[in-house]
Structure formats: C-alpha cells, structure tokens
C-alpha cells in the first residue's frame, strides 16, 4: 500500500508540473488579434488634431478621450476661443505648426502637461493666462502670452519647465510663482506689465543653466522675495526701463549667479537688496560674467537692513546719482569699478565693507559707524 501511495504522489506531481508548463507557455503567446487591434485603436485615439477654424474644440476633444488613454497629444490649428481646464496626466497641446488661443489654460494637479507652439491672448477667465496649481507639473515651450487681464503665467505649489517664453502687457504681474520649482531656459522675455514683470515668492526656487532673461517696461523687472532663490549659471538677466527697479531681492531672498547681469537705465534703482537678503556671484565663475549697474535714475545698487552684496570682477557701476549705497548691511568687492557717479560709494548706519585687490572706488562717503577692511578704507 505504501508503494502505491508513493507512485500516485509522483504521478500527481508530474501532472502538476505539466500543467504549470502549459500555463507558462500559454502566457507567453501573442495577444489575440482582436485585442491588438483594440489597443492600436486606443493609441490612435490619443493623437488627434483640433482645427478651431472648423468649429472644433480642445475642451470637447479632452472630454471625449477614453479613460484608459494615458498620454494624449492634441495638435491645434487655427484660432480657438475657449478656456481650457486640464486635470488628467500626460496631456500635450501643440500648435500645428502654430495656433492661437483666445482665453486661458488652467492645469490642476496634473503631471506631464506640455504646452508648445501656442499664442495665448486676451485671457479674462483665469488668474493667469496659463496657470499650474495644486501640485501640477508642466512644460511650456515656445509660447507667447499677450494682453492677459490679470497675470500672464502663474505657477502655485507646482513644478514648471519653461523654455522660450514671451509675456507682454499683463494687467497685473507678468509672471508669478508661489511655492514653485522652476527651470528657465532659452529666451525668456517679459515686458510692459502694469505691476512687476516677474515675481518669485513663498519659497520658490529657480534654476537656469543658460537662459537669457529680459525684463523691461514694468514697475520692477524681477522680485525675488519670501525666502525664494534664483540660481543662474550661464546666460544673462537684463532689466531696463522699469519704473522702480531692475531687480529687487527682499525678505531673505537669494540670488547666486554666474550669468551676465545688466541692470541699467531703470527710473530709480538698478538693484535693491533688502531685509536680510543676498546677491553674490559664483566664486568659480566671477571672472567669466559681467555685472553692469549703469545710468539708473537714483542708484546703481541700494543695500539695507542686514543684507549682503558682493560685486566681483568685470563689474561696472557708473552714471548714477549714487553708485552703491549701503546701510546697516555688508558689501564685498573683488575687482569692481565703482566710479563716474555723482557719489560713488556711501556707507552708513553700521555698514560694513571689504575691499579686495583690483577694486576701484572713485569717491567714498562714510559716517562714523561704518567699518571697512582690505585694500581701501573710509577717508
């Protein structure tokens, strides 16, 4: 009896092995033809063209997408008049080759949203002509934003990669980022906003490897405030013809740069550094970049309330009533040329200055609380 039980057990084991082998073999067979066709059809549904000049709608196209389609490319033609809300991941809106949207785009909590080759104009519905909110992640490439009734681009608590963007004639702020992470590359041009052109606030962080950023015709070219930071490696930031300042860094804001910085021809200040903020070049790039603070209406640079400014090689400050004015803050110069102003350098109210080799100061005015060290001293 024991021998028969053993034989039966072996036979059962062989049967189970054969069953699993057949099952595995079946799992490796190609999908049925009908299922392959269904999957192909779903893929075709995820790529479509919307021609607004023929009465088509981007919103309608998005609503009709099957729920199981994960990456959607919509090529847009003509002029569309609608306000688009995107809440699903993996949506790409692409002008074919270019298109115009009269309205706005709002991305709410969606990942991997791309907006390319579009002109977005005359938005009156959303807080930004293009906006990413509630943890969204977007890419904006080769986009023009014109005449928004509020902000041009708004990024709140979200992530954005931006390349080749222009914003013109915003009724409030051209580009507003709150609690955001941004990458800026290519040509970024923000002009003629009623208020400031670019505002980075509430802990926003920005990285730019080679972006060329220009800002003109606003109240302030760019504000970095509220513990926000901007790290610009190469490229440039140019701010001119702004009514108050080319650049304001305030409330523990930080600018670290290796790019060319040109804050010239603004109505009052080229650079204002305030409230425990700092502006300084990368130590290893300071000989490669240029800093120009010329011909501003009041001062090339004004530094106050516990802030720090470092001006390194290839820096010129000229043609201003006040070249650099430092109050209750720190200044460090390494090879800077501050001359040709009505008053070149003013140190007051416990200001501190360190002058290293190569520094040129035309005239220096100090009150009795100022402290200096290095190759130059208060007269």
The 10s digit of each residue's pLDDT in 327-339 is 999 999 998 999 9
Report the distance separating Cα 268 and Cα 220, nearest Å: 10
The answer, yes or no, to whether the previous bond of 97 is cis (omega within 30 of 0) is yes
In this structure, how many other beta carbons lie within 10 angstroms of the beta carbon of residue 366?
A: 18
Residue 45, pLDDT score: 52
Chain mean pLDDT for the chain: 90
**CA distances in angstroms from 270 to 25, 273, 278, 320, listed in the order given:** 73, 10, 15, 9
pLDDT above 80: residue 212: yes
pLDDT above 70: residue 75: yes
In this structure, how many other beta carbons lie within 10 angstroms of the beta carbon of residue 228?
A: 28
Report the distance separating Cα 270 and Cα 222, nearest Å: 11
Predicted confidence (pLDDT) per residue in 184-200, tens digit: 999 999 999 999 999 99
> Which of 232, 351, 342, 246 shows the shortest CA–CA distance to 292?
246
Residue 124, pLDDT score: 94
Report the distance separating Cα 224 and Cα 277, nearest Å: 9
Predicted confidence (pLDDT) per residue in 1-42, tens digit: 444 434 344 344 444 334 334 343 444 445 444 434 444 444
Predicted confidence (pLDDT) per residue in 91-126, tens digit: 999 999 999 999 999 999 999 999 999 999 999 999
Residue 13, pLDDT score: 45
In which element (H, E) is residue 99 found?
strand 91-108
């Amino acid at each position: 009896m024991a021998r028969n039980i053993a034989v039966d057990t072996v036979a059962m084991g062989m049967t189970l092995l054969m069953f699993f082998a057949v099952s595995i073999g079946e799992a490796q067979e190609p999908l049925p033809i009908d299922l392959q066709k269904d999957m192909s059809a779903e893929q075709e549904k995820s790529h479509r063209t919307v021609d607004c000049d023929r009465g088509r709608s981007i919103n309608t196209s998005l609503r009709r997408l099957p729920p199981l389609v994960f990456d959607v490319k919509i090529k847009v033609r003509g002029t569309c008049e609608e306000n688009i809300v995107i809440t699903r991941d993996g949506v790409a809106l692409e002008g074919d080759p270019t298109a115009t949207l009269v309205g706005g785009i709002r991305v709410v909590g969606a990942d991997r949203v791309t907006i390319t080759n579009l002109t977005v104009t005359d938005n009156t519905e959303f807080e930004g002509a293009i906006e990413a909110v509630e943890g969204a992640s977007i890419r904006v490439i080769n986009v023009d934003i014109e005449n928004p009734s509020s902000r041009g681009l708004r990024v709140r608590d979200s992530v954005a990669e931006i390349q080749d963007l222009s914003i013109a004639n915003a009724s409030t702020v051209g580009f507003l980022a709150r609690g955001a992470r941004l990458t800026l590359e290519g040509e970024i041009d923000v002009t003629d906003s009623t208020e400031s052109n670019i505002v980075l606030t509430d802990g926003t962080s920005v990285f730019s490897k080679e972006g060329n950023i220009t800002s003109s015709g606003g109240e302030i070219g760019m504000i970095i405030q509220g513990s926000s930071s901007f790290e610009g490696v190469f490229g440039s930031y140019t701010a001119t013809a702004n009514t108050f300042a080319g650049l304001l860094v305030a409330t523990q804001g930080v600018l670290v740069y290796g790019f060319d910085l040109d804050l010239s021809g603004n109505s009052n200040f080229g650079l204002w550094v305030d409230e425990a903020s700092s502006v300084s070049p990368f130590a290893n790039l300071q000989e490669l970049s240029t800093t120009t603070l010329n011909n501003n209406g009041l001062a090339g640079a004004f530094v106050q309330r516990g802030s720090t400014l470092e001006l390194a090689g290839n820096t010129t400050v000229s043609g201003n009533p006040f070249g650099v004015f430092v109050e209750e803050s720190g200044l460090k110069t390494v090879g800077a040329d501050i001359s040709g102003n009505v008053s070149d350098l003013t140190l007051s109210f416990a200001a501190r200055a360190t002058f290293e080799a190569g520094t040129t100061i035309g005239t220096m005015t100090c009150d009795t609380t100022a402290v200096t060290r290095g190759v130059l001293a208060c007269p």
